[in-house]
Structure 1
Amino acid sequence: MNDPTMSTWLPCPFAADYRFDAEQVRAQWPALHAVDAEPLPEADALLQAWALFHSGQFERASSAALALGVDGLSLANRATAAYAGLIEPQEQTRMELFKRVHSRACAHAAQRPGHPNAWYWQGYALARYAEGIHVARALAQGLGAQVRAALEAALVLAPGHAYAHVALGAFHAAVIDKVGPLVGAMTYGARADTALNHLREAQRLAPDSAAVLFECAGALVLLDGEARLAEATRLQEQAAQLTARDAVERLWVELARTSLAL
């Protein structure tokens, strides 16, 4: 399974600061994966591929993961999503990468329906694609129902999946932001209290994750605008002050710092 977009990927600017090997990843797995409920791999080759990911070698991690077949799909999708969301500067390329993640996640779910991240990456990638084509248009195409169903499936399988809670909370917030609370609730099942519950649970599960804090901040502003601005700023400030555990978390910390400086 090869990825034809690989040759265009740009390097992670912080890769040189984080050097993981398979044993370090194994030892730090609970902390590194508190956000995504990914099970500890048994195969050394997959652990080595995860070491590339945590070291910021997203291109190499994705390539190594795809070479492992279905066992590597969760890693390939996380590496691709991290690159697309945090490094890739071109909107069209980002959208193509998220479409690729969604396609692979659908194949993953067909083969491993009990793996929560097969469903999570479906929902997350489709939500990011929906942002790119504008949420209202995506809702008209029926993508909202697919996003919600995939993320809810992930949480049924892994109730402690912090990323899935953030993504589902952000979905409810984005729908309400675009169509209002009444239409959001009646047509799409989007509710402010549900959004807040998911965002609060994500923070409870991963209080020291820069990604969770930053994404929760954005969702709160979508949900309530100025009324939540102080809380959102506080979350971004917390994210900006964290010491990153790996290269991808460093990207989130730097994104929070940049956002605060704007």
Structure 2
Amino acid sequence: MNTKHWAPFPHDSTPFNYDGQDLLDAWPELHRGDQEPLPDDERIVEAWRLYHAGDFAGAVDLATEIGIAAHAVANKASGIYADYLEEDEDIKQAIYETGIAHAEQAISTYPDDANAHYFRAFLLGRYSQCISITKALSQGVGGKIRESLETALKLAPEHAEAHTALGVYHAEIIDKIGKMIGGMTYGASTDEAMKHFERALELTPNAPIANLEYGNGLYLLFGDKRLDDSNAAYEKAASIEPIDAMQKLDVEYAKASV
């Protein structure tokens, strides 16, 4: 993946520079959402250090040198970069496509790694938003996303980001094609969406992304009927003190939206 022209992190990264033991001490909280275990390989730890500080290109470059063992940090760094900082739609889509292939390789190599499955779903979801949810569903992407998320949750039941993503899966299908067809064709359900959003918030109440996507989900599922609740979720996200670069991007997005 060519990261030469990637945009830099647009905020002060000083608060997110976890040097030495600081990263190890902060690891459980930093990875509460994705349940990524602390790696044995010091170079993978260093790639995560770069990721948390907002050096997404550096994290991807180091992870690429390491190889498939660093798939999780490579896919999270590239996915977050594309989602928030890449303005060229073609480049953004290419990043997602590369990440999907990388995640599928990781699944073949590490079938019991929850994040191999989760990041496949995450990147497929972002790819779907690039090409339109309806078009992605016609290509069979929806089933792949659900399969990967359900597998991730079997392997890591407290994977809050997977719960959030599964809530989004149900909500976006219902929003795009309706409850009846969405339920019959894809198993989409309002109750299931809410169950997963609420579980993510139970597991990570102070994760900006869990609150943001809950707000999005409420609007997709209920429209103006739950607009106040949707806005409140965005306000909660905007009020959180971020602990790494991804959270900073989430918080700033929420602040710009309230």
TM-score range, shorter chain: over 0.9
CA contact (8 A) 1:15 1:55 kept: no
User: Which moved further from structure 2: 230-239 or 14-23?
Assistant: 14-23
Rounded Cα–Cα distance in structure 1 between residues aligned with 2:19 and 2:183: 47
The structural deviation recorded for 1:251 is 0.8
* Letter matched to residue 178 of structure 1: K
Local SS of the residue matching 1:81: helix
User: 4+ residue runs of structure 1 moved beyond 6 angstroms?
Assistant: none
- Tell me the TM-score normalized by structure 2: 0.97
Local SS of the residue matching 1:102: helix
The corresponding residue for 1:190 is 188
Structure 2 gap segments, 5+ residues each: none
The structural deviation recorded for 1:138 is 1.0
User: Which moved further from structure 2: 155-164 or 65-74?
Assistant: 65-74
* Letter matched to residue 171 of structure 1: Y
Rounded Cα–Cα distance in structure 2 between residues aligned with 1:249 and 1:189: 31
Rounded Cα–Cα distance in structure 2 between residues aligned with 1:217 and 1:149: 24
Local SS of the residue matching 1:74: helix
1:212-247 deviations in whole A, cap 9, x for unaligned?
111221122111111221111111111111111112
Identity of aligned residues (%): 36
The corresponding residue for 2:107 is 109
Rounded Cα–Cα distance in structure 2 between residues aligned with 1:216 and 1:240: 13
1:180-216 deviations in whole A, cap 9, x for unaligned?
0000000111111000100000111100001111122
The corresponding residue for 1:38 is 36
1:10 aligns with 2:1: no
- Tell me the TM-score normalized by structure 1: 0.95
* Letter matched to residue 119 of structure 1: H
Of 61, 64, 89, the match for 1:63: 61
The corresponding residue for 1:206 is 204
The corresponding residue for 1:161 is 159
1:20-54 deviations in whole A, cap 9, x for unaligned?
22422111001000110101111211111111111
1:177 aligns with 2:156: no
Local SS of the residue matching 2:4: helix
Local SS of the residue matching 2:13: helix
1:254 aligns with 2:255: no
Equivalenced residue count is 257
Of 92, 107, 130, the match for 1:132: 130
1:89 aligns with 2:87: yes
Rounded Cα–Cα distance in structure 1 between residues aligned with 2:217 and 2:245: 24
* Letter matched to residue 14 of structure 1: H
The structural deviation recorded for 1:140 is 1.1
Local SS of the residue matching 1:244: coil
1:88-142 deviations in whole A, cap 9, x for unaligned?
1122221111111111000000000000000001111111111111111111111
Local SS of the residue matching 1:6: coil
Q: Calculate the aligned-residue CA RMSD, in Å.
A: 1.0
CA contact (8 A) 1:22 1:50 kept: no
* Letter matched to residue 226 of structure 1: D
Of 240, 243, 246, the match for 2:241: 243
Of 133, 141, 144, the match for 1:143: 141
* Letter matched to residue 54 of structure 1: H
Rounded Cα–Cα distance in structure 2 between residues aligned with 1:235 and 1:140: 31
1:152-195 deviations in whole A, cap 9, x for unaligned?
11111011001101111101000000110000000111111000
Rounded Cα–Cα distance in structure 1 between residues aligned with 2:148 and 2:137: 15
Rounded Cα–Cα distance in structure 1 between residues aligned with 2:20 and 2:51: 11
Rounded Cα–Cα distance in structure 1 between residues aligned with 2:65 and 2:226: 45
The structural deviation recorded for 1:15 is 4.7
